[in-house]
Amino acid sequence: MLLTLAWAALTRHRARTLLAILGVAVSAAMLLDMVMLSSGMRESFRNLLLSRGYQIRLAPKGTLPFDTDATIAGAAELRRALAADPDIVAVSPVLGGQLRIVARGRPITAVAIGNDAAVQGDYEVVRGRAAIARNEIVVSDEVLHDTGASLGDTVEAAGGYDAQLRDVTGRRALVIVGVAHFLYMAAGQRAVALPLATLQEAAGDRSRDRVSVFMVKARQGADVEAARRRIDSRFPSVTAISIATAMQQVDERLSYFRQLAFILGAVSLAVGFLLVTTLVTVSVNERLGEIVVMRAIGVARVRVVLQIVLEGVVIMLLGAVLGLALGLVTARYLNSILASFPGLPAAIDFFLFEPGDAWFALAMLTTAGILASVYPSWRGASRPIAATLREEAP
């Protein structure tokens, strides 16, 4: 009964109600986007780090993985020592660098990843297979496009470049055995992967028995933080970073985004609150005569208040549902813009939708709708009956 009366009151002024719902929808869309932004990039980055199951990264002392050109010396011995730890089930050495692929008479530069195909966690093969033999290479679609090569072709590649001769040095023939999606690369970035020993040889003496980072996978049920502390204390030349440690650093660097999301989310919620408050106040003022008549014939004040509050909740709920769809569309568009930042991994999402975000935004809007309607409805239902009837009489 109350819902029927509330709906009848709202449809009495269709244009005004529709505009209010659209206004709430815009506020709801912004609120949802800000909730998604406040946690989206953090969770997206965490999911990316855990996508291959490696919980610990080892970087040169005092650096972050691939944060500098520094490398870890004595890689082979360090790998054996790590593998001997009973809590560690896999160790993936990774060397980062550049490889110049000679194509169409000119060298094309690509980011090169040297690793062990059996335990690698840097790419997912899309076509073909991983590079196992020393003369094999896996490339991204961008490399295939820019070189004009195909799966199975042999290309010339080099790890050095002579600026005086304007030519690459140390050429070697590599067979393209696979096309891969590189997890940590930016969109449109050229990338290749090849056996670690091959890239170490191509890079020359500066990379002999060196790697840029170790990725370590702990056994199921092991205490990852205890393993990280043990590695950190045992090997002074490296910094061990667990997912938890990395997320702490990410939180520090993303604090600006969370503050911005909080401010804009609060503004959108306040706009929705004020919009419903204004609409309900105008509606109550127009219906004072109707309200006091209901009170005069014995309708309880609480019942009158509940009907008016229900009108505000209906506006908020309809606006929230419409705002959910609008928020997802705008989040997708904004994410495409932010994801184009140089050097940002293509797998990172600034706006990550989770059902909990939608429910949280909906709950806040519903609460705001109730609070926005309580005061004007109670004020209208509390007017003196006799005096108000005289004032409202034609």
Q: Please check whether residues 219 and 365 belong to one and the same domain.
A: no
Q: Please check whether residues 289 and 357 belong to one and the same domain.
A: yes
Q: How far apart are CA 229 and CA 288, in angstroms?
A: 70
Whether 384 is covered by a domain: the verdict is yes
Coil, helix or strand at residue 278:
helix
Q: What is the pLDDT of residues 81-140, one digit of tens each?
A: 999 989 999 999 999 888 888 776 677 888 899 999 999 888 989 999 999 998 999 999
pLDDT of residue 139: 92
Q: Please check whether residues 100 and 148 belong to one and the same domain.
A: yes
10 Å CB burial of residue 112 (0-12, 13-18, 19+) is buried
Q: What is the mean pLDDT of residues 62-74?
A: 78
Q: Please check whether residues 310 and 369 belong to one and the same domain.
A: yes
Whether 242 is covered by a domain: the verdict is no
pLDDT of residue 176: 92
Q: How far apart are CA 288 and CA 387, in angstroms?
A: 11
Whether 54 is covered by a domain: the verdict is no
Q: What is the mean pLDDT of residues 166-180?
A: 78
User: CB–CB of 159/204 below 8 Å?
Assistant: yes
pLDDT of residue 394: 56
Q: How far apart are CA 114 and CA 70, in angstroms?
A: 15
> 160-162 and 88-103: which strand pairing?
unpaired
Q: Please check whether residues 299 and 203 belong to one and the same domain.
A: no
Q: How far apart are CA 287 and CA 169, in angstroms?
A: 86
Q: Please check whether residues 113 and 210 belong to one and the same domain.
A: yes
Whether 137 is covered by a domain: the verdict is yes
- Tokens 């196992």 locate to 132
Q: Please check whether residues 224 and 109 belong to one and the same domain.
A: yes
Q: What is the mean pLDDT of residues 349-357?
A: 75
- The answer on pLDDT for 183 being more than 60 is yes
Give the number of domains in the chain: 2
Q: Please check whether residues 76 and 203 belong to one and the same domain.
A: yes
pLDDT of residue 21: 80
213 contact partners, CB below 8 Å, separation of at least 6 = 57, 58, 59, 65, 66, 72, 93, 94, 96
Helix axis angle for 288-296 and 385-392, nearest 10°, is 140
Q: Please check whether residues 213 and 286 belong to one and the same domain.
A: no
- The answer on pLDDT for 177 being more than 90 is yes
Whether 278 is covered by a domain: the verdict is yes
Q: How far apart are CA 27 and CA 31, in angstroms?
A: 6
Q: Please check whether residues 194 and 81 belong to one and the same domain.
A: yes
- The answer on pLDDT for 378 being more than 80 is no
Coil, helix or strand at residue 42:
helix
Name which residue leads in pLDDT, 91 or 279. 91
User: CB–CB of 48/345 below 8 Å?
Assistant: yes
Q: How far apart are CA 358 and CA 346, in angstroms?
A: 25
- What tokens appear for 175 in the block? 């067979």
pLDDT band at 9; cut points 50, 70, 90: low
- The answer on pLDDT for 57 being more than 70 is yes
pLDDT of residue 166: 55
User: CB–CB of 248/228 below 8 Å?
Assistant: no
pLDDT band at 392; cut points 50, 70, 90: low
Give the number of C-alpha atoms closer than 13 A to the C-alpha of residue 380, restricted to the C-beta side. Answer: 28
The beta strands (E) that lie in the chain are given as 56-60, 72-73, 88-103, 106-115, 123-128, 136-139, 154-158, 160-162, 167-169, 172-182, 191-195, 210-211, 213-218, 238-242
Q: Please check whether residues 107 and 232 belong to one and the same domain.
A: yes
Q: How many other CB atoms sit within 10 Å of the CB of residue 145?
A: 11
- The answer on pLDDT for 380 being more than 60 is yes
- The answer on pLDDT for 393 being more than 70 is no
- The answer on pLDDT for 164 being more than 60 is no
pLDDT of residue 360: 78
Instruction: Give the domain extent around 344.
Output: 2-48+253-392
Residue type, 214: F
Q: What is the mean pLDDT of the chain?
A: 80
pLDDT of residue 391: 66
Torsion of CA 176, 177, 183, 188, to 10 degrees: 30
Whether 247 is covered by a domain: the verdict is no
Q: Please check whether residues 95 and 174 belong to one and the same domain.
A: yes
Main-chain phi, psi angles of 134, to 5 degrees? -65, -20
Coil, helix or strand at residue 64:
coil
Whether 244 is covered by a domain: the verdict is no
Whether 106 is covered by a domain: the verdict is yes
pLDDT of residue 159: 67
Q: How far apart are CA 373 and CA 36, in angstroms?
A: 28
